[in-house]
Structure 1
Amino acid sequence: MTTEDATTSTPDEPVERTGWTAAGRRAAVLALAAARAVAGVVRPLAWILLAAAVVLGVLGTVYGWREVRTIAVVLAATLVLSVLFLFGRTSYAVELDLTRTRVVVGERAVGALRLANTGTRRILPSRIVLPVGSGRGVFGVRQLAPGDSIEELFSIPTQKRAVLAVGPVSIVRGDPFGLYERVDRRDEPVPLYVHPRTVRLEGQSIGFVRDLEGMETRDLARDDIAFHALSEYQPGDDLRHVHWRSTARTGTLMMRTYEQTRRSHFVIGLSTATADYAGEAEFETAVSAAASLGLRALRDAFHVEARVPAGPLRADSGRQLLDSLSGVDGTRSREGRVADLAGSVAASAPLASVVVLVCGGGAAPADLRDAVSRLPAGARTLAVVVSADAETGRRRIGDTDVLTIAELDDLPRALRKALG
């Protein structure tokens, strides 16, 4: 009988322990969730008052200080009564509308925030918090009867190029003392693109005439567009390119040879290494210069590719190019300076027809020479150096024109000098 009891009781013990463990875990999860909910509602001032009420209550009881006990009771009553302000509905219908989601740095982005009470009961006054990047705007909303709505207009000043997240809208209910705060987040954030400032480059400012058939190179090919010369037939040549008149005259099968052409592929390399710039102002001017050159190349029907040391940027259209440049930041890494960027451009676009490098005055002449030597062979190359303390000028390093500008407005004039 003892053996049977031992046998039957042995498997029950781990089952019972497992059951208690699962229940304990569930209780712990619920307790943790409750603690997080409380922590999200109770403000630091409430914790301070709660601690003060406890300490004063204990001291008043121990030492018989009636006044101290009275203060503790008042604090506790304030904490309890303030909780009542959290109750109530916040069922607003929220609509966030940005008139323009893309602005140029320095402009104001204007928007509207619409709130409506779609319920059947009155909504008490509350606060609306609208995050904008690292800042936020706060709107006070009066009580709304069923069916009422309100519209708050706002404007966002833009002092720096950036991609800002506007929202999500938060509806805040709390007490007048700031002890508790209940936040209900609505809607999704809307991206606001603050584009770099650009200048329009007129005429042949870029310096390269459009060629819908591509640009000729010195490399010879058996099949292309630009005719170069005649040569004898080689096994594998396409018989469609036989020059019959020369073949009849010489008695040898003669073939047309061509100069290879490159597609009008415009590549802009923008250095983001802070070591290549004397300050933030130079970097912002360099971003604006790259954007201006890219927009002109797109108007000229080039296939534009923009690259930074971290990789390529989207540049299929002017909007994509400016959106991409809005989020470009400087990097403090020693790697990825202008010479490394030139090597990356050569590796990714060896058949580019036009390559423009943009950097700051922090790039030493030796760095520029190294960068120019790494650019794709056969491409037409240009370097734009932004130096706040230098005068607008032009010099050459090998086959590359190097333009120096101090401000963005100097770029059209510097390009005209290079063409002259």
Structure 2
Amino acid sequence: MTSTLGDLASSATGTLTSRLAALSTRSMRYIEPVTRAAAPVARAGKAAANAVPVAGRIVIGAAIGCLLVGFLLHWSELVFIGVTLTAALAIACGYAIGRTTYAVTVELNPRRVVVGGRALGRIAVANSGQRPVLPSRIELPVGAAHAEFQLPRLAPGQEHEDLFAVPTHRRALILAGPATSVRGDQLGLLRRTQTWTDRIELFVHPQTSRLKASAQGLVRDLEGQPTKTITNSDLAFHALRPYEQGDSMRNVHWRTSARTGQLMVRQYQETRRSQMLLVLGADAAHYASDDEFELAVSVLASVGVHVIGEENQIVAGWDGGAMHTVSPVSLLDDSCRLEPVKRGAKPLREVVRGLAARQSQPSVVLLVVGSQTPAADLRAVATLFNHDTVFTAVRADVAGEAVMRRSGPVTVASVTTLRELPLMLSRLGTRQ
């Protein structure tokens, strides 16, 4: 009896489950078409909501409220106010309704400037339709600012042009656009917008300093840097040793062998081409001011541009990851995106470790930091590399003095202005 009831219950459960599944399948057949049909309505409703600013919504609410209360209480004054507000909305609709046939062009010249350089923009609006277009205005975001341009009535084929200047007093990546036409009444009750262009990038590069040729002891080595590793074949001669079985006969020094009566072979110091690791520590807590961070970015850009120009191998990066080093321009473009990391900054050692993994053991490591960076952090970074790596730190210290100190295995050069960088690097080169 018990097993019969269990079988009935399981059979009923299975039947109910299958019916629910079938019902769900049939429901989806109807839900999907309804959803697709409702999508345009939802987009239209969203567009309509965006077309009514806050002032328009207040007027609509006030008009409805005045008409309802006025008719219910037979209060003619409220009815008059409601009718007046409704008429204002109807007039505003006349300004917003209508086709806009614009061809909009936004240009920036040049697209790349140095801090403080002159950057001009041009916006041209032409009527590409067959009918005149009523006056309107164009809104153009430029960085954090918004520029507005008043457009007159344009006949078919007529073009209106405006020029504007872009502020470049600070390093930044400035986005201009998109250009949006706005049609609406003068009271701002209703507005109709239409986007015409994409965003355009303006790179405001940091200031850089041309490094002297004497700095090449640190950042350039055409034939490679000798290490303390001894090898049987390389460029830097080290010494002679007696011949051992398996040595190549090409390395036999025959004159010495003839003089000593014993085969002698050459030994060399292993050399390699310079591979530079250039890192900016971007932890905001390590910088005393924004100007100090900008100085650090300029130091990074100056060294990076010099090394890339010498066609040496380089990996450059910061807390946000590696930077493009295909050309000096690509590095400068990426430097426009550098910002202090104010929250969740990783330890400096972890930042350098992550970037160092992108290349084999670098021969030169240059770390750019702020004046508040603890010396213990620099020493911790130095433990990542062996004795064949030249490890140096350049400290941006606007309020300090230009000095060079030794902190354990690290040579720290402090610079207060960008003009001091070439001299400091040349002194570092002679110390290596």
Q: Secondary structure at the match of 1:204?
A: helix
Equivalent-residue separation in structure 1 for 2:199 and 2:219 (angstroms)? 44
Which structure 2 residue ranges, 5 or more long, are not aligned?
1-18
Cα deviation code 1:66-112 (max 9, x no counterpart) = 12101101111211221121222322111111111111122332121
Q: Which residue of 2 aligns with 1:70?
A: 80
Please, which of 264, 268, 279 is the counterpart of residue 269 of structure 1?
Answer: 279
Distance 1:329 1:27, change over 3 A: same
Q: Which residue of 2 aligns with 1:4?
A: none
Query: Are 2:334 and 1:324 equivalent residues in the alignment?
Result: yes
Q: Which residue of 2 aligns with 1:103?
A: 113
Specify the code of the residue in structure 2 equivalent to 1:73: V
Equivalent-residue separation in structure 1 for 2:246 and 2:160 (angstroms)? 77
Taking only aligned residues, the RMSD between alpha carbons, in angstroms, comes to 2.9
**Is the CA contact (8 Å cut-off) linking 1:227 and 1:258 kept in structure 2?**
yes
List aligned pairs for 1:72-151, cutoff 5 A: 72-151=82-161
Please, which of 141, 151, 162 is the counterpart of residue 172 of structure 2?
Answer: 162
Q: TM-score, normalised by structure 1?
A: 0.87
Equivalent-residue separation in structure 2 for 1:17 and 1:219 (angstroms)? 75
Cα deviation code 1:157-194 (max 9, x no counterpart) = 02322212111211111122211111111122111111
**Is the CA contact (8 Å cut-off) linking 2:292 and 2:398 kept in structure 1?**
yes
Q: Which residue of 2 aligns with 1:371?
A: 381
Please, which of 360, 365, 383 is the counterpart of residue 355 of structure 1?
Answer: 365
Query: Once the 2 structures are TM-superposed, how far is the Cα of residue 236 of structure 1 from its aligned partner?
Result: 6.6
Q: Which residue of 2 aligns with 1:7?
A: none
**Is the CA contact (8 Å cut-off) linking 2:219 and 2:307 kept in structure 1?**
no
Equivalent-residue separation in structure 2 for 1:233 and 1:376 (angstroms)? 31
List aligned pairs for 1:217-296, cutoff 5 A: 217-231=227-241, 240-243=250-253, 255-296=265-306
Specify the code of the residue in structure 2 equivalent to 1:266: M
Cα deviation code 1:350-376 (max 9, x no counterpart) = 432222111011112222232333344
Query: Once the 2 structures are TM-superposed, how far is the Cα of residue 231 of structure 1 from its aligned partner?
Result: 4.6
**Is the CA contact (8 Å cut-off) linking 1:217 and 1:261 kept in structure 2?**
yes
Distance 1:232 1:88, change over 3 A: farther
**Is the CA contact (8 Å cut-off) linking 2:240 and 2:266 kept in structure 1?**
yes
Q: Which residue of 1 aligns with 2:13?
A: none
Distance 1:334 1:371, change over 3 A: farther
**Is the CA contact (8 Å cut-off) linking 1:206 and 1:296 kept in structure 2?**
no
Cα deviation code 1:221-272 (max 9, x no counterpart) = 2332223334566677656545556667778775443221121222211101
Identity of aligned residues (%): 37
Query: Once the 2 structures are TM-superposed, how far is the Cα of residue 345 of structure 1 from its aligned partner?
Result: 5.0
**Is the CA contact (8 Å cut-off) linking 2:393 and 2:412 kept in structure 1?**
yes
Specify the code of the residue in structure 2 equivalent to 1:38: A
Q: TM-score, normalised by structure 2?
A: 0.85
Query: Once the 2 structures are TM-superposed, how far is the Cα of residue 43 of structure 1 from its aligned partner?
Result: 1.4
Distance 1:237 1:133, change over 3 A: farther
Distance 1:51 1:238, change over 3 A: farther
**Is the CA contact (8 Å cut-off) linking 1:92 and 1:116 kept in structure 2?**
yes
Q: Which residue of 2 aligns with 1:396?
A: 406
Distance 1:212 1:17, change over 3 A: closer
Equivalent-residue separation in structure 2 for 1:135 and 1:295 (angstroms)? 31
Equivalent-residue separation in structure 2 for 1:50 and 1:196 (angstroms)? 51
Equivalent-residue separation in structure 1 for 2:65 and 2:110 (angstroms)? 55
Distance 1:179 1:228, change over 3 A: same
Specify the code of the residue in structure 1 equivalent to 2:115: V
**Is the CA contact (8 Å cut-off) linking 2:379 and 2:409 kept in structure 1?**
no
Give the count of matched residue pairs.
409
Q: Which residue of 1 aligns with 2:15?
A: none
**Is the CA contact (8 Å cut-off) linking 1:346 and 1:376 kept in structure 2?**
no
Q: Secondary structure at the match of 1:205?
A: helix
Equivalent-residue separation in structure 1 for 2:219 and 2:40 (angstroms)? 71
Q: Secondary structure at the match of 1:119?
A: coil
Q: Secondary structure at the match of 1:296?
A: helix
Equivalent-residue separation in structure 2 for 1:19 and 1:405 (angstroms)? 71
**Is the CA contact (8 Å cut-off) linking 1:206 and 1:297 kept in structure 2?**
no
